[in-house]
């Protein structure tokens, strides 16, 4: 999404919704093999040193890996988030922002 739109993105790792116990499972090495294949796109992704390895693994999980990502301007994003929460979609969250035009680099902190 970022590279296709030629924008750079900043993602707040602790804002990304996770399934219960997902971080603990990833910490034990229970990560789908596809997550490691998805790391092939790592050249455009930079992680802050403070982001734990299990959370990095979950960012590449092929079961979600961006398939459930929507990009909107801040105002409409907040309105949509409110509507989703009212509809019972409690895992919906604002996890980041577009920072500039660029090559599609993603910074996760």
Query: Around Cβ 57, how many Cβ atoms within 10 Å?
Result: 22
Tell me the whole-structure pTM to 2 decimals.
0.87
d(CA 54, CA 29): 8
pLDDT digits (tens, 9 = 90+) for 65-78: 555 789 999 999 99
- 11's enclosing H/E stretch is strand 7-11
Q: Please, what's the b/e burial string for 24-49 (b: 16 or more CB within 10 A of its CB; e: otherwise)?
A: ebbbeeebeeebeebeeeeeebebee
Please state the domain extents for the chain: 2-108
Structure tokens at 63: 């079961």
pLDDT digits (tens, 9 = 90+) for 23-51: 999 999 999 888 888 888 778 899 999 99
Q: In CATH, what number does 2-108 get?
A: 3.90.650.10
Q: How confident is the model at residue 1 (pLDDT cuts 50, 70, 90)?
A: confident
């Amino acid at each position: 999404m970022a590279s296709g739109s030629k924008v750079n993105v900043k993602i707040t790792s602790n804002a990304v919704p996770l399934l219960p116990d997902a971080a603990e499972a990833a910490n034990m090495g229970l990560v789908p093999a596809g997550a490691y294949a998805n790391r092939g796109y790592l050249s455009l992704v930079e992680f802050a040193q403070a982001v734990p390895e299990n959370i990095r693994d979950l960012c590449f999980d092929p079961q979600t890996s961006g398939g459930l990502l929507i990009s909107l301007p801040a105002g409409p994003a907040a309105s949509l988030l409110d509507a989703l929460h009212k509809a019972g979609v409690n895992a919906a969250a604002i996890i980041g922002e577009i920072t500039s035009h660029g090559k599609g680099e993603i910074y996760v902190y």
